Amino acid sequence: MAGFCLLSLILAVAALTVCVTVLCLNGGTSVLSPSGRHMLCFCADGFSGSNCETDESASCFDGIGLHYRGPVSKSASGRECLEWDSESVREIGVYPKNLGPGRHNHCRNPDYSRRAWCYVRTASRLMKEDCDIPRCAKDNGSDSLTGAQSGWQCGQREERNMKVVGGALSAVERHPWMAAVFSRSARGRAFTCGGSLISPCWVLTAAHCFPDGTKTSIHKLSVFVGRNAINETDAQREQEFRVSELFIHEHFDNTDGNYNHDIALLKIRSPDGRCAKESSSVKTVCIPEAHQSLSVGTSCEVTGYGREQEGLWYYSQYLREAKVNLLSQDVCSSKAYYGNMITDNMLCAGSPDWSADACKGDSGGPLVCRVRDRVFLFGVVSWGEGCSRQFRPGVYTKVSNYYNWILEKTGLSSLS
């Protein structure tokens, strides 16, 4: 019995310890009542709030501010933020989650918006307003999709007319965001997939390029940008990188041939720790805003080092490009095409005469479309039935559906 009581006491203390740890954050100490119940937190220097959840020293935010826990409680217009759990906020029916513990009115970003924000009251209504909090400075321009802090301008290229299935040879300067992913094995280094440089430190590609998923040995991966040919080296054009991080979309599962959420990110670093340097053959491609779409029939380009036609056993030696047109979701998901294999996270593109298409080896590469004077990455080469088959267009991951996912994983800022 004594042993049982001692065990009970130990368990009770352990439970109380866990409770205190959860209640008081950032090194805060719980003050208990005589009955052992938590009353309040004594916060460590630099922190405040009922649960010590507010970091008083936070003067800026990284990425889009998902983890900002600073004290700012006014919107950019100078209006006082409303408490997140106030009755008026609850009445509009959009009470956000993931605000952190404690009752407060500090600026937060619980819904993956462009930056930290809060609800304010105007003369006529309750509304959501951004907060005027500066972004934390980062080196190498790695916190911007446009690379603005390092002078990069996404979606720019040289318009060379140098002549994928049904496609033509293309100089890498026409597609300077094109990346080539290689993997090393006992037999040497082999080309794996294409990709797109979306910031100096990040390459966007397809999840199915990594069949081992999260168990992929990233130390065996290398990435080239500015590479014009698979088996030729051009030191004046190309740059080589190691992979320091790999993010495969959490909901990608290809066990049943389902290519939904076929998207992945690679963080690249050179041996001396640098990211890509801008040149005529190395530039970033722009990312479309969340759920942005183009009209059916828009002419776009797909590029890659894949097979030039179905049935060939070898890949193209040189980078190739093909022009394809966007198809409607209704057409591509019709019975004559792919039926219910097409999800809202995919888009289809093909040439009117079915002569041009992506093919095996082009996986992970870019489908880009020009919008005004810049080039945007609207698709990632994902899958398709054969190459250039009638009523079987190429299927691409719809990049705009993953805008916020990209921001979350990379810490990149928005395009604005």
> In whole angstroms, what is the distance from residue 317 CA to residue 231 CA?
7
Nearest residue to 263 (alpha-carbon basis) of 404, 63, 111:
404
Write the single-letter amino acid at 395: V
- Asked whether 285 and 154 are in contact (CB, 8 A), the reply is yes
**C-alpha span between 196 and 297 (Å, rounded):** 23
Cα(first)–Cα(last) distance of the chain, in Å?
Answer: 68
Phi, psi of 175 (to 5 degrees): -135, 65
∠ CA 61-290-81, nearest 5°, is: 45
**Marked catalytic residue, from 104, 175, 208, 249:** 208
Type of residue at 86: S
CA atoms within 13 A on the CB side of 141: 20
Active site residue 208: yes
Is the separation of the CB atoms in 189 and 233 below 8 Å? no
106 is catalytic: no
Token code pair at residue 96: 């956000």
Contact (CB, 8 A) for 412 and 300:
no
User: Rounded to whole angstroms, how far apart are CA atoms 42 and 186?
Assistant: 58
Between vectors from CA 136 to CA 85 and to CA 376, what angle results, nearest 5°? 95
Q: Is residue 363 annotated as a catalytic residue, yes or no?
A: yes
Q: Which of 262, 316, 362, 400 is catalytic?
A: 262
Instruction: For residue 332, give the 3-state DSSP assignment.
Output: helix
Sequence-separated (6 or more) residues with CB below 8 Å from residue 389 = 310, 354, 357
Residues in Cβ contact with 83 at an 8 Å cutoff, skipping those fewer than 6 apart: 89, 103, 104, 105
Query: Out of 113, 170, 281, 363, which one is annotated catalytic?
Result: 363
Distance CA 230, CA 253 (A): 29
Catalytic center residues: 208, 262, 363
